Structure 1
Amino acid sequence: MTGRVDVDALLRRMTLEEKIGQLSVLADSIRPFAFDVNPDSFQWGPERTREMIRAGQVGALFNGVGAAEGRELQRIAVEESRLGIPLLLGADVIHGMRTVFPIPLGESASFEPELAERTARAAAIEATREGLHWTFAPVVDVARDQRWGRVAETSGEDTYLSCEFARARVRGFQGPDLTADDSLLATLKHFAAYGAVGAGLDYNAVDLAPQTLHEVHLPPFKAAIEAGALTVMSSFNDINGVPATANRELLTGVLRDQWGFEGFVVSDYTSDFELIAHGYAADERQAAELSLNAGLDMSMQSGIFMDHLGALVEQGRVGVAAIDAAARRILDVKARMGLFENPYRSLNPAPPGPTPYLAAHDALAREAARRSVVMLKNQGELLPLRKSGQRIALIGPFARDRENLAGCWNIFGDASREIDLETGLRAALADPQSLQVVEGCGIEESLEGGIEAAVAAARQAEAVLLALGEPSVYSGEAQSRTQIVLPPAQQALAEAVIATGTPVVVLLRSGRALALSPALQSADAILATWFLGTQTGHAVADLVFGDHSPSARLPVSFPRDAGQQPYYYNHPSTGRPYTPEGLQAFRTRWREVDHSALYPFGHGLTYTRFDYGPVELDPAGLAWDGQLTVRARIANVGTRSGEEVVQLYVRDRIASRVRPIRELKRFQKIALAPGEGRVVEFTLDRSDLEFRSVDNRPIAEPGRFDVWIAPSATAGIAVSFELHPA
């Protein structure tokens, strides 16, 4: 079928079986597949899959790759099925295809949504070139508990920051024209509140106040839908006792009735079938009934829609109108993507010769990686190191490691192009042999004589780069941790090396904020390098040797102790608020540690210093339907050029529901030369002061507010203004 399509006319021609066929996406058993991503991938073999395509019994396939093979699959769908409805071909392209960019958490540390838009665009170009139409990204969950393994896939703990990156990634994946060959349909996940699973335990229950759901966890989804997202993935978890995949209040009430969402909802991998294990459905048939009637349009991999919806219609348990509505939404998205007019879009074999964009994408990967690194500490201005005339020891299990450069959800990356730390550092040095490399220990195990060799290397060096952290398998789905600390073998190595007295720079690799041991905290300098992807080694060298100044800021709070989780900067005050003057009794505190972050949200250092002038307001108060300009002069008072992330926070002093002690409302990244200053302005209006009332309505209340322009969530001096009544 080619040309423009009338979806309603097409629906009238479809049999019930063909309509139901559009409601399933199955693992691609024909094209080269991404193994080890999900359990039990193939319930249907290649021949059976081809038969189902011919019979119109499947509407989409996922996690196979290859343009030539994809073109053959599409040919079967378009030329050999009765109605010629094209397939939708999807995959998990999370932070890059062949070129791997920093994990989303790391990229969000850049505080540059436009950077995320550029990397998503590059990923879309590569993915569509290899026969994909659709990605299961971005993750827009808000992650307030660092024990959760999927923090790595998010934009961190703040709702406003998550909204900005959600919009950017949707724009990047999809581009300006959904029908273009290089447009990759985005999927928002996981709907909803997956980041709020109890104790940070993956797949766990979510017990959440409706106001918190609407204030904290839903806004990034709404922002991304407003940016043009047309597919949403339901989450594994239940919310207040109702599994998300069968949650009509969310899938129909919020998405369609309140937000006007026009796309379709796909289940997470077998999450509809898992209603049985939740204890919400008695069997597969009831699970299919509950999911479809709640507003789920497409079942991923379980097969329960294709197996049971026909009988459910016959029994009157599911209406034909509900089947039609789901099929119409899926067909409409395919039509918007131009698949009926051009079913072979994104399925043209690549021309012979070198891939034209690789050099540009490598350059972008290097830029994105270095703009994602957060300098947490730089005591005595140890960094940057010198490229010549300095003996440097690179010590640690990640010094030469190539298995843990990309991080979790890297299933298509080209490992042959990845640059490890040793390679990148040696390439930057005037004399590559001035770098001595010693592993010291394995990632999780000690090495015989390893610590002794590391100590000897540290004593011979003038500076140590200590490459420590988590392996990539500690992050991602089903990788929750009770103790967000380094493995004991690495802790022992750190203690021994730091004890030598040689200045130490910790290169900390992780997919979450970690609780740092006293030894690590005592290091002279610490760089949070996350998982940086293809260009890791070159990007770290760019920063370590001062070719570029660190410019990223923390999107998550680094706790003092793992036991503080969940910890996030924008918590309520409580009636006995924490005070920073030590461990006072009868205050909101832990017995062992201050109830504050070791490194707060928004924190990050550069190779220069910035001075913040007083905050000014224009006018002095905010009229009900007016605007308020908040400004401050920021000056570079150091000796090097640098970039500063200027952050604006607000606090509602008195409200009918307890409000957070601060909330990020705006940010702006500026570059200043030494001695240069700039006035940074932000504009607020009443919508920025809204919250959910006790009866869960969006409201703003007249009264006094504090506002900060500051370099982090705990810095700055507040000024106050009044929101005047109407």
Structure 2
Amino acid sequence: MKRLYLLGLMAGVSLHSIAAQTPSSLLDDKPAFIASLIEQMTLEEKIGQLRLISIGGDMPRERMLEELQAGHIGGTFNTVTRPDNRPMQEAALRSRLKIPVFFAYDVVHGHRTIFPISLGLASTWDLATIATSGRVSAIEASADGLDMTFAPMVDISRDPRWGRTSEGFGEDPYLVSEIARTMVQAYQGKSPAAADSVTASVKHFALYGAVEGGRDYNVVDMSPLRMHQDYLPPYRAAVDAGAGGVMVALNSINGVPASANSWLLKDLLRRDWGFEGVTLSDHGAISELIRHGVARDEREAALLAIKAGVDMSMADSLYQQELPGLVASGDVEIGEIDKAVREVLGAKYDMGLFHDPFRRIGLAQDDPKDRNAENRLHRKEAREVARQSIVLLENRDRTLPLKRSGTIALVGPLADSPVDMMGSWSASGVAKQSVTLRQGMLDALGNKAKLLHAVGANITDDKHMVEYLNFLNWDSPEVVQGPRSPAEMIAEAVAAAEQADVIVAAVGESRGMSHESSSRTSLQIPASQKALLRALKKTGKPLVLVIMNGRPLDLNWARNNADAVLETWFTGTEGGHAISDVLFGDYNPSGKLPISIPRSVGQIPTYYNHLRVGRPYVEGKPGNYTSHYFEEPTGPLYPFGYGLSYTDFDISDVRLSSSTMTRDGGIEASVTLKNVGQREGATVVQLYIRDEVASVIRPVKELKDFRKVSLKPGEVREVTFRVDEDDLEFVNAQLQRVAEPGAFEVQIGLDSQRVKPAKFTLL
């Protein structure tokens, strides 16, 4: 007898079979098993499988148990402990057909152990390191009874005003695609049915990162060419990697909301890409079709969504409310319902839930006595990943690393804020388990040096902003204003700075400032913190800025005035230790920017792989009648792929194995990398390609490969990349992927601007 039935009996559930008419011999034949199950289901039971409900927010627990037992719910989200999930699974298994429920959650950059936010993960430019974060997340989430994560979030973001920039992996299609593939494989492991794996549901499909003005939930209007060339590849990479789920975006695409977009969900996702998993609406998205203005009422909203291919309705009652009538009227065919149900049941089958509904929930006797116990965390892995995510932007006169001697002043509202260390979407992370920068520096210094601490400023003194940021946390406000005046706080910080040999200022955003629905019109560090920085600068002491943020900020003042600048994003549970490791030289920073940092909000969008224009601006030449802004230098403040080290690297000219390439062959592009500094360190060698002439306008360059290399002082290594026809392909005006013959330029460098070129011809 299958373990399914044994566990059911142990849980006190009668499980003589999953439907009396379904032979147990079918259990190992997925298509036959699911087909047999669908044949036995009533319309009410089928529609129940299409509902994804949150306990508490959408439905009280008591009602949830009743609905599960009636077979009216297919999945739940936001319950994240085994004792919470077990009664719900037991209730589902008391339903007529005993179909198990699945449990989902937003495990975006860690579950109990919080890793750096996604922008930070991308800054490592190390797929093995990123995979570590995903695998640990899956292990921890599955240990809490979760079956699915609403991740990875792979929306390309080129407008940092968008609050959800923090959730994504940056601006580049190639880099984000590689990370998308890596994260899906890390979450799902060898099989999504494994007890320590969770099903990945890639989001937000599609183009959510391109909302107009960077304003969340806004419209997207984009040419098909740009879609296919720049924005769709990461979703495709996740699907090709085997993602079991796809979450549908909240935005509209060229006038049609994604949740009502049959071209997107049927033609592109399923027909062209061959996706066979389950599609999920985002929270309340189906009812929002009315406010979009494409549905007259709730009936039409449900009709549009099911017709478009939205399998499961998240936090929405419309499927249950409207689908029975739509089937009765003939507006929706029962076959359309069956198709959606087949995908839901298929996802559950792939999760292993039909073989063992308690696969991840386990037995009550094995539940952790303390769900937040220290031994459930993976601190070693979190610290290592976080260290690699930190990007050194400035280091004048070798200000860093700091010496463990004398007196150090640590100031700033983010210096000792455990909740902000975790960043947005920090899942089940517990703030008090986060290591703040202050604690990390104290641990690093021991009794070797004196650390003075002063808050110096509030995150912001803007009352409206504080009220907004605390709105969703009214019972436990995250942005708390100090009782003292701004002048008093600055005076205290200046007094500490004057006693110190060096100042470390932790400034930037609170985590809520880079979150869903936290779009900004400005990229400035809040005025309260800027006033603090100006006062600290006047002391004349060396000033090290530790920037904490979820989006690129305006760092002009920092670049012009600070002696050293670390871009740390939000580094997670072990962030304080990781930043301290870098500050004191226990780790040589190797992070590179996955997104360009613009000079000002007026430059947005600023991204390295922009299309060529007929009147390009050329640095050092007159700007008249060229494409540029005349008030400030053209181009980003810090380019994509940029990041310094405590050592120096030299890269040779590019050597090509051939000056021509055939379609069935390839060429090798090589450089010699040398560590010419005094410390061991790592850097990322980046390969870009420029298509000189094509049938449509091509970008100035495109990332096609990268390699992270660690070298000892004086060590030399040859780095070789293979370039083949796939690397030269692009989407043409007919939306075909082609590689056209002609001239190409290979560019290899340590960021997207400092490159060495070499040319070849595709025959």
Match of 2:464 in 1: none
Partner of 1:576: 615
Matched, 1:417 2:433: yes
Paired with 1:645 and 1:433, the residues of 2 have a C-alpha distance of: 34
Whichever residue aligns with residue 648 of structure 2, its letter is R
Moved more, 492-501 or 225-234: 492-501
| Match status 1:8 vs 2:8 | no
Supply the distance in 2 between the matched residues of 1:354 and 1:478 (Cα, whole angstroms).
33
Structure-1 separation of matches of 2:761 and 2:269: 34
- Greater shift, 168-177 or 430-439, is seen at 430-439
1:308 Cα offset (Å): 0.5
Q: What CA distance in whole angstroms lies between the structure 2 residues aligned with 1:519 and 1:190? A: 34
Query: After the TM superposition, which residues 47-446 of structure 1 pair with which residues of structure 2 at under 5 Å, given as runs?
Result: 47-78=62-93, 80-348=94-362, 349=364, 350-351=366-367, 358=375, 361-388=378-405, 390-431=406-447, 434-445=450-461
In the other structure, the counterpart of 1:469 is 508
Measured against aligned partners, the alpha-carbon deviations of 1:578-625 in whole angstroms (never above 9, x if no partner) come to 222277222211131122011100000111000001101112221122
Q: How many residues align?
A: 710
Output the aligned Cα RMSD.
1.5
Q: Is the 8 A contact 1:67 1:131 kept in 2?
A: yes
What displacement does 1:357 show? Answer: 8.6
Q: Distance in 2 between matches of 1:344 and 1:320?
A: 31
Q: Which residue number corresponds to residue 570 of structure 2?
A: 531
User: How far, CA to CA, are the matches of 1:442 and 1:416 in structure 2?
Assistant: 20
Tell me the distance in 2 between the aligned counterparts of 1:583 and 1:150.
Answer: 38
Aligned mates of 1:352, 1:161 — CA distance in 2: 38
Q: Is the 8 A contact 2:404 2:448 kept in 1?
A: no
Q: Is 2:639 the partner of 1:600?
A: yes
Please give the alpha-carbon distance, in whole angstroms, between the structure 2 residues aligned to 1:12 and 1:702. 55
| Preserved contact between residue 651 and residue 674 of structure 2 (Cα < 8 Å) | yes
Partner of 1:670: 709
Specify the code of the residue in structure 1 equivalent to 2:653. Answer: P
Normalization by structure 2: what TM-score?
A: 0.91
Q: In the TM superposition, what whole-angstrom CA distance separates every residue of 1:277-326 from its partner, at most 9, and x where no partner exists?
A: 11111111111111111111111011111111111011111111111111
Q: CA deviation at 1:717?
A: 2.3
Structure 1 residue 403 displacement after superposition? 2.5
Distance 1:520 1:490, change over 3 A: farther
Kindly state the Cα deviation for residue 250 of structure 1 after the two structures are TM-superposed. Answer: 0.9
Q: Provide the rounded CA distance (Å) in 1 between the counterparts of 2:580 and 2:286.
A: 47
Give, as a single letter, the amino acid of the residue that structure 1 aligns with 2:90: R
Output the CA distance in 2 between the equivalents of 1:183 and 1:250.
Answer: 28
CA distance in 2, matches of 1:486, 1:405: 17
For residue 25 of structure 1, what is the aligned residue in structure 2?
52
Secondary structure of 2:637's aligned partner: strand
Question: Alignment partner of 1:166: what SS?
Answer: helix
Partner of 1:35: none
Say whether the 8 Å CA contact 1:646–1:709 is kept in structure 2. yes
- Aligned identity (percent) is 44
1:518 deviates by 2.6
State the TM-score, normalized to the length of structure 1: 0.96
Specify the SS of the correspondent of 2:202: strand
Q: Give ranges in structure 2 of 5+ residues lacking alignment.
A: 1-16, 19-23, 462-484
Query: Residues 651 and 358 from structure 1, CA distance in 2 versus in 1: closer, same or farther, beyond 3 angstroms?
Result: farther
Measured against aligned partners, the alpha-carbon deviations of 1:133-158 in whole angstroms (never above 9, x if no partner) come to 11111101111111100010000000
Deviation at 1:170, TM superposition (A): 0.8
Counterpart code for 2:234: P
> In the alignment, what sits opposite 1:34?
none
Q: Give, in whole Å, the separation in 2 of the partners of 1:354 and 1:228.
A: 34
Counterpart of 2:260, as a letter, is A
Q: Secondary structure of the equivalent of 1:644?
A: strand
Q: Any stretches of 5+ residues in structure 1 without a counterpart?
A: 30-40
Q: Give 1:677 shift.
A: 0.8
What amino acid is aligned across from residue 404 of structure 1 in structure 2? D
| 2:762 paired residue number | 723
Query: Given residue 664 of structure 2, which amino acid in structure 1 is its aligned partner?
Result: D
**C-alpha distance in 1 between matches for 2:494 and 2:627:** 42
Letter in 2 for 1:329: E
The alpha-carbon deviation at position 452 of structure 1 amounts to 2.2
Q: Identify which of 559, 583, 593 aligns with 1:544.
A: 583
> How many angstroms apart in 2 are the aligned matches of 1:496 and 1:415?
30
- Aligned residue for 2:492, secondary structure, equals helix
2:378 is aligned with what amino acid?
H
User: Hey, what's the Cα distance between the residues in 2 that align with 1:270 and 1:48?
Assistant: 19
* CA–CA distance in structure 1, aligned partners of residues 198 and 297 of structure 2: 35
How many angstroms does 1:206 deviate by?
Answer: 0.3
The ranges of structure 1 where at least 4 consecutive aligned residues each deviate by more than 6 angstroms after the TM superposition are 353-357
Partner SS for 1:366: helix
Letter of the 2:126 counterpart: E
Distance 1:178 1:539 in 2: 32
* 570 and 671 in structure 1: CA distance in 2 versus 1, 3 angstrom threshold: same
Mapped partners of 1:386, 1:253: distance in 2: 60
2:504–2:546 CA contact under 8 A, matched in 1? yes
Q: Is the 8 A contact 1:495 1:520 kept in 2?
A: no
**For residues 50 and 452 of structure 1, what CA distance do their matches in structure 2 show?**
57
Residue 432 of structure 1: how far off its partner (Å):
6.2
Larger deviation, residues 46-55 vs 243-252? 46-55
Q: Which moved more, 1:108-117 or 1:577-586?
A: 577-586
Structure 2 residue 750 is matched with structure 1 residue 711 = yes
- Residues 501-650 of structure 1 mapped to structure 2, 5 A cutoff: 501-581=540-620, 584-650=623-689
Per-residue CA distance 1:109-135 (angstroms, 9 max, x = gap)? 000122121111111111111121111
SS of equivalent to 1:464? strand
Q: Is the 8 A contact 1:426 1:432 kept in 2?
A: no
> After superposition, what is the alpha-carbon deviation per residue over 1:348-380, rounded to whole angstroms, capped at 9, x for unaligned?
244557889947710111111111000011111
- Distance in 2 of aligned mates of 1:422 and 1:73: 42
Cα distance, 1:161 vs structure 2: 0.5
Alpha-carbon spacing, 1:75–1:519, altered in 2? closer, same or farther (3 Å): closer
State the secondary structure of the residue aligned to 1:719: strand
Equivalent residues of 1:588, 1:595 under 8 A apart: no
Distance (whole Å) between structure 2 residues aligned to residue 432 and residue 590 of structure 1: 50
Seen in structure 2, the aligned counterparts of structure 1 residues 338 and 610 have a Cα distance that, compared at 3 Å, is: same
Find the aligned partners of 1:341 and 1:589 in 2 and give their Cα distance. Answer: 61
Post-superposition Cα deviations, 1:322-361, rounded to whole Å, max 9, x if no partner, equal 1111100111111111101101111124455788994771
Deviates more, 1:366-375 or 1:173-182: 173-182
AA partner of residue 404 (structure 2): K
